[in-house]
Chains A and B, each alone.
Chain A
């Protein structure tokens, strides 16, 4: 494909030079030729006129019987006439410039002509090209005219021709200059603006879109230049430079990854480099599948019918941490519909996820607070109801109690059946009384009188109420108290109720006896109380319900279902927390955390 480079200038210049050269030479040749012919024609015409005059003189002298010698002598003197002959009708030379020829027969057949003949001939002596005029006279013998023959020299014409050619040659440098300069100027005129266009194209090709070409002509090249300038301007306005594009993709907050159809990474922006955690040189050319593992599973090779929009996933960048992302993928296809490139835009949503988590936590907290508020509301309502009804229930209960004791006293001799009946009524009344008391207590727990209290004293006070019973049931109490008392802000009566309730529950959980371990200690600004028994334990599925009011696992009549609800309520009212762990068959452990009172 190697093509000989011929410049546009040469293409225009040399043909024109050749053309003008040929035309010039031809023109000169023709000019010289035409000039010569004209001169010849003039010469012939002159001599024809001369021959006519002479013929008239000869004719008139012929009839006088003499010859016009004077005129013929003049004829001999003429420079251009090489020879002359007067030939009679028989072809014999009557008179001639050369006396030797007189009476001789002429070799030429044209002596019989009746018309004027001008013909080329060659002078035998000098081999010179000449013209011969054969002019017929009116003197006729035997029907044939006499003829006057004139040999005309072309020597002067040749001389003039030579002079003309010489003159032309002397002018030839000027001519050549014209022949050369005109095409040069022409070619230059055409090629210069084109050369400028070429130069501009090269400059613009290098990315300099600010370059413009001066327009000096209004011809087609001028129009082209104008169009070119406009194109460059449009290009500058409408398209972006490589640098501009680079700046944009690298300023993007989202990661941009462009791969080929097989997942080979072709382009990454700075955000992507940061996300992937490798050097840019390490990333380019690598297969994206070898760098990133996506959860849930997603292959980068898989063909996507339409762009994947905002696919939330976890990117496990190989050897790095897991990053939560939103990834969208779009495909670049060729005319055949084959995928050439895949473009991934990836957003790191770690921050969003964290915020989301915080939001969830805040919502949870809110829900807890709301639940607590609802619970408090419930308790308040229950309190109002309980206070209102307790008095109305207790009065009839008092009557029943006094009445049944009276019945008991009034009948000294009782049957076994009556005795049992009376006892059952007495028990029922006591139970009813207990329920009412607990409801009242539960309701009143929302109003506490807080004073600094030694936590260990409160625990002991609560347990002391059933300590005798515990001993009786073979339950041992192990205390692990700190040497220095811990003080908390507490309602003495209410908080001791907590430990009474816990101890009662433990007692019920250990019908065969066992151990209650109470451990008190400080942790940061918290007072921790661990209350543990070796009872039957609580199944896991019921553990979450034990603090709910009116939930009980005990047999009817044994529990009110308010004990642990009250415990939690009281602890909450003291800004504390209670947690429970339990294992069926091994025991239950309550952990209470109360804010410690700062020592002054």
Chain B
């Protein structure tokens, strides 16, 4: 069971994603509705992957990612931005580099697409180590 952390200010979105991912039987999902809470859970649970919303009240997704990079242990966790601001067509090398080498996923996204993307990243991560 891989541990996934989802940080998003939309509670219902968090709920549906958690349910959808857990229904696959492969993931254990933790959810947070703001950046601070997300960081707290990340430190406590050490998830295998973090899904970060970008535009949130308080800490922005990018701020959370930067905080995670400060922690040597947490910095190892792959971060995927899940956002409504940026869309697939905008994804370019520049944008990915700027966000610390992490991936972007555009909202809205189907559970299947999300699962596929998560699995792909986790596989790559495993191969690296």
Contact = CB atoms under 8 A, between A and B. Distances in A.
A437 interface: yes
A592 B85 CA distance: 32
Interface residues of A, number: 23
A497 B89 CA distance: 10
Interface in B50-93: 55, 84-85, 87-89, 92
B20 A398 contact: no
Interface string A461-504: 00000000000000000000000000000000100010000000
A397 B107 contact: yes
Interface string A17-35: 0000000000000000000
B10 A398 contact: yes
A398 B107 contact: yes
Nearest to B111: A405
Contact of A406 (B10, B16, B55): B16
Interface residues of B, number: 21
Q: Is the interface of A mostly helix, strand, loop or mixed?
A: helix
A398 B110 contact: no
B19 interface: yes
A409 B108 contact: no
Nearest to A387: B85
Given A391-B55, A493-B89, A398 B23 contact: no
Interface in A396-420: 397-403, 405-406, 409-410
A131 B17 CA distance: 192
Contacts of B87: 437, 440
Given A405-B20, A406-B16, A398 B84 contact: yes
Contacts of B88: 437
Nearest to A390: B84
A441 interface: yes
Interface in A366-422: 390-391, 394-395, 397-403, 405-406, 409-410
Interface of B: 10, 12-13, 16-17, 19-20, 23, 55, 84-85, 87-89, 92, 107-112
Given A395-B13, A398-B109, A410-B23, 14 more contacts: A391-B55, A391-B84, A394-B84, A397-B107, A399-B10, A402-B16, A402-B17, A402-B111, A403-B12, A405-B20, A405-B112, A409-B111, A429-B108, A441-B89
Interface of A: 390-391, 394-395, 397-403, 405-406, 409-410, 426, 429, 433, 437, 440-441, 493, 497
15 contacts: A390-B85, A391-B55, A391-B85, A395-B107, A398-B13, A398-B108, A399-B10, A401-B108, A402-B13, A402-B20, A402-B108, A405-B111, A406-B23, A437-B87, A497-B89
